Amino acid sequence: MSWEENVRRVEPYVPGEQPKRKDIIKLNTNECPYPPAPGVTAALERMDPASFRLYPDPDAKMLVHALAESYGLRDEQVFVGVGSDDVLAMIFLTFFQSEKPILFPDITYSFYDVWANLYRIPYEQIPVDEEFRIRFEDYRKENGGIVIANPNAPTGIAVGKKQMKDFIAEHRDVIVVVDEAYVDFGGESCVDLINEFDNLIVVQTFSKSRSMAGMRIGYAMADEKLIRYLLDVKFAMNSYTMNRPTLELGVESVRDEAYFKETTAKIVATRERMKTELEGIGFTCTDSKANFLFAAHEKIPAAVMFERLKEKGIYVRYWNKPRIQNRMRITIGTDEQMDVLVKAMKEIIGEEGSFDAKVSVEWR
């Protein structure tokens, strides 16, 4: 016998590349191009490193309270973790103990099946339609829980609150998780439905709309009872997940509602302008309500465009996967970065377009 027989073997998630070069235009992991709220800088300046010798508050009260206040909730309805990945992984472990499969779309955030595999949770991926829309009627079957990203990733397509509400009402006997990582860029949140549905968990993050991917903060909002179950699992794993800087800086971000609205509005404006420009040079885009576009070109294969952009120092995201292998996910950066991107794309279309034409002529 060997210890190797007792190892949990898993297929890990592969995150978007983090280039070491500093001159890269990085549009591959949906980070925000603007800095965090000014209050974050001020809090960092007054932070006392001597306090690091003490454990942080295991209940993360200051951050939980700031979030509850901001959403008009009670503290008991909020749970915080090390990014929404930490929160979602804990939700999978806590609530998906059924023998029946959990359900989520075939095209969605690619961590859901990774967590299901990690925790040996049976799952079924329900195909989205030809235009990448979630087919809610296909979820009417025996299941152990449901996970919907809204807006969905990497399509950016959002579902209205009315439709989400009907869907949640249809599945009251299982936990429905709504992953709202991208909701602040034009989606409709289901947060206030947690007062009505005790089977609903809404998950959000500081990584996109709050410019704090580097701080690792995610949170879940749900009925008090669900939050208590989550806390029990958290306290059975690691009492102190949120470190002191995270708690202090997170609070400052939540407090600055004006800055939050200003930066998210800027990103939405850039996205809409970009969408029009990309369509002008031969791209088809989904109607994204997120901080990215999901685009296919009429002539240049996405794999080629992706590689050529990379050569030019522009990183976007590409998956060589069925149904989406001719699309790129492009994070919305600053207007300046977007202009550089469009210029580069025009060059590539010019070069690859004529090269392709030549090749086809030679081969014909």
d(CA 167, CA 158): 14
- Size of site (CB under 8 A) for a second copy: 83
56 binds a second copy (CB under 8 A): yes
Which residue, chain included where needed, has tokens 């690691």?
238
Interface residue with a second copy among 175, 190, 202, 314 (CB under 8 A) is 175
Interface residue with a second copy among 105, 145, 151, 156 (CB under 8 A) is 145
Least distance from a second copy to the Cβ atom of residue 164, Å: 17
Q: Give the DSSP H/E element, type plus range, for residue 353.
A: helix 335-363
Of residues 209 through 228, those in contact with a second copy by CB under 8 A are: 211-216
Least distance from a second copy to the Cβ atom of residue 354, Å: 37
57 binds a second copy (CB under 8 A): yes
d(CA 359, CA 362): 5
97 binds a second copy (CB under 8 A): yes
Q: Are 231 and 91 in contact (CB under 8 A)?
A: no
Q: Which is nearer to a second copy, 2 or 360 (CB)?
A: 2
Would you state the structure tokens that stand for residue 271, as one six-digit string? 């996205």
- Residue ranges of E strands in the chain: 25-26, 78-81, 102-105, 123-126, 146-149, 176-179, 200-205, 218-222, 283-285, 292-297, 314-315, 317-318, 328-331
Q: How many angstroms from the chain centroid is the CA of residue 357?
A: 38
From residue 309 to residue 348, the character string flagging contacts with a second copy as x (rule: CB under 8 A) and all else as - is ----------------------------------------
73-105 residues labelled b (16+ CB within 10 A) or e (exposed) = beeebbbbbbbbbbbbbbbbbbbbeeebbbbbb
24 binds a second copy (CB under 8 A): no
Of residues 230 through 289, those in contact with a second copy by CB under 8 A are: 231-246, 249
Least distance from a second copy to the Cβ atom of residue 228, Å: 10
Backbone angles phi, psi at 303, to 5 degrees: -60, -40
Q: Which is nearer to a second copy, 26 or 271 (CB)?
A: 26
167 binds a second copy (CB under 8 A): no
Of residues 287 through 306, those in contact with a second copy by CB under 8 A are: none
